[in-house]
Chains A and B, each alone.
Chain A
Amino acid sequence: MLVAIVFMLLVVGSIAFHLWSPSLGWWFLPRASHWDQIDLTLDITFWVTGFVFVAVNLFMAYAVVKYRNRGEDSKPAKYEPENPKLELWLTVFTAIGVAAMLAPGLYVWNEFVHVPDEAWEMEVLGEQWRWTYRLPGKDNKLGTSDASLISISNPLGINPKDPFGQDDLIIDTGIVHIPIDKPVKLNLRSKDVLHDFAVAEFRVKMDLVPGLVSYLWFTPTKTGTYDVLCEELCGLAHFTMRGKVVVDTLEDFNAWQSEQMTFAETQAIPAADPELGEGLYAVCSGCHGQSGEGNVALNSPKLTGMSSWYLEQQLHNFKKGIRGSHPDDIYGQQMVAIAGMLVDDSAIRDVSAYITTFPSTPSDSIVIGNVERGEKLWTTCGTCHGMEGQGNYATHSPKLSGQEDWYVRRQLEHFKKGIRGAHDDDRFGHQMMSMARMLRSEKDMKDILAFMNKLPTQMPGEQLALAQREGVEE
């Protein structure tokens, strides 16, 4: 008896939960693409399966009540091996239900498979753990690309000899804009492992597979900013592989597009000049020291040993207020003011290049912790920053070996509290915010810094070789 009542309650409860969930936000997000047919197919499936769920379970509950054993005076069960007619009817009935769901499903899938001719094409490139985009530029055609051409200055591996590639727009901020009401085909490509491009509001998603180009298409129907998530497990930092897509009106889109750099422009950036940087460094030296050795008393970290790309990125972020503008970040605010004195990107490049000419300096180890435990925690950090803490441009992770522990500690605390990394445009900072949360306690913090202090400060050979090839360091 109890079983039957509970089952009826579960059926009613499930329906109630279903009806109630949208008001609590446990439901599909409002659609922002033209795929209303997907939602329709879903509705049909809901009706068919919902009916079966209610009917079969209530029938079962009723059967349990009606035919439960009531002791001695219970009626014996009926001996009925089968009922071919009934079974046939149930089969036919089920087949109709299945067909009612399948037919629209296949119809809409056919729409999805066939991209309309008027769709414009763009490229989404996934890599551990971020999104990069390429728009076709004025000629409306994407240039060819190859994994073997990928380098720091050509992160998408675009073929420099292909004329179609020259005017392609490279979007390396993780935020891409697309115009409303124009069907778009996304060509999906991966640099390293499987990823999956998913925007809940667009309803469609597809994996990115290294070695081939997959695709999806849709027509955006609502302006706004939407989260792009990677939805195929792609390694340790999978959950931090986020991005944004902004659906713009055509005017806004054109305005945004005109600000982006073409592939040809990215290739034409002049080399940095450390001699010019020396002059610019004067303002830095007051706090960071004549040769970048840092000053604990002034809360200025040492700068030696850092890669130029990282220095450039941070100076850029300070200048734009992406880093250091949080009210609780006192020293960051100072840097925002100082970085503002560097007039443009080329000044930033020059001063960064100058800083990398400093000989490396030792750093003091202050923190005492359990090194072995720290090593276990380090497996997570080392994935991006390198197991030896050597840093890695590919994941935009700075070198940590030889860093000063007091400084790293403050940064980790800032990441944890959202003082650093919370800015919308700071995508690598966002990733560190998620990662730093794994350090729960004072002990975790001390242990991992204690391990970091033990890392060799020399740069391993292969990383150096890569750096030399790219001509960015030393």
Chain B
Amino acid sequence: MEAISILAFIFTAVAISYWWLWRQRIFDKPWVEEGTEADDRETIGGGLATANTALFAFLAVVTSLFALFISAYFTRMELNDWSPLTEPSSLWFNTGILMLASVSVHWCTRTINKTTYKAMLLATGVFTFGFIWGQYAAWQQLWAAGYYLNTNPANSFFFLFTALHALHLFGGLWVWTRATFRVFTEVDVEKAKMSVELCRTYWHFLLIVWLVLFALLLST
């Protein structure tokens, strides 16, 4: 039972890979095909497509990481010294803020208005920092109530999950900072816009990760 989340992830990952391979016509006989026609890719090695491929591969790695943690969580939960944690209610508020960050970065990539673009870009960063600060405040609340990292495994996992999630957001914020700097100084704006496109995917992904983690924490 405990292994269910990681197995679910692995089956999904393998299924997607196999489906993708299927579409790459891996049943064809390559020795009877000659010429270059057999290739339908648009670009070779560069541009948004390449960056996106790398990003999605990275997201698969991160998903694996969190799926494994969740599996460990389920396993550990079964053991008898587990005492569930009462999550601080401020997490609801934080969740809302992270959603706003996601919305603003999405908006950013959909607008053609330069001012809106800049405003939404800034808003993304502000909301994200706000979320992280909110998470930290939730930690302080727990510390004040006497719940520390090593108090109970449920606490350990809570701190671990939130810390790892925030760490991933910091990684995103680093890219965001570079892109914002470029947009405002108008250097390499094209490159910056590509980064923002990637940020959108990344922020949505981390929002989903947080929602899953939050739901998990609430339900157990």
Contact = CB atoms under 8 A, between A and B. Distances in A.
Is chain B found bound to chain A in the same assembly?
A: yes
Contacts of B29: 81-82
Chain A interface residue count: which class?
under 10
B31 interface: yes
A82 B31 CA distance: 10
Contacts of A82: 29
A81 B31 CA distance: 7
A250 B112 CA distance: 92
Interface in B1-55: 29, 31
A402 B29 CA distance: 81
Contacts of A81: 29, 31
A81 B29 CA distance: 9
A266 B29 CA distance: 78
Interface string A302-329: 0000000000000000000000000000
A81 B32 CA distance: 10
Interface string A64-89: 00000000000000000110000000
A144 to B, nearest CB: 14
A284 B29 CA distance: 93
Nearest to B29: A81
Nearest to B31: A81
A124 to B, nearest CB: 23
A183 B29 CA distance: 60
B26 to A, nearest CB: 14
Contacts of B31: 81
A82 B27 CA distance: 13
A81 B28 CA distance: 12
Nearest to B30: A81
Nearest to A82: B29
Interface string A106-121: 0000000000000000
Interface in A76-105: 81-82
Interface in B41-94: none
Nearest to B81: A211
A82 B32 CA distance: 12
Interface in B110-126: none
B174 to A, nearest CB: 41
Nearest to A212: B79
B132 to A, nearest CB: 36
A136 to B, nearest CB: 25
B29 to A, nearest CB: 7
Nearest to B79: A211
Interface string A326-338: 0000000000000
A79 to B, nearest CB: 9
Nearest to A81: B31
Nearest to A211: B79
Interface in A278-297: none
A437 to B, nearest CB: 41
A148 to B, nearest CB: 12
B113 to A, nearest CB: 58
Interface string A44-82: 000000000000000000000000000000000000011
A82 B28 CA distance: 13
A306 B31 CA distance: 83
A82 B29 CA distance: 10
A147 B68 CA distance: 30
B33 to A, nearest CB: 12
A82 to B, nearest CB: 8
A221 B31 CA distance: 63
Interface in A114-137: none
A312 to B, nearest CB: 38
Nearest to B32: A81
Nearest to B80: A211
Interface in A186-242: none
A260 B9 CA distance: 55
A237 B31 CA distance: 60
B31 to A, nearest CB: 5
A138 B23 CA distance: 70
B76 to A, nearest CB: 12
A50 B31 CA distance: 36
A82 B30 CA distance: 11
A255 B190 CA distance: 90
Interface in B127-143: none
3 contacts: A81-B29, A81-B31, A82-B29
Interface of B: 29, 31
Interface of A: 81-82
Q: What 3 A-B pairs come out closest when comparing CB atoms?
A: A81-B31, A81-B29, A82-B29
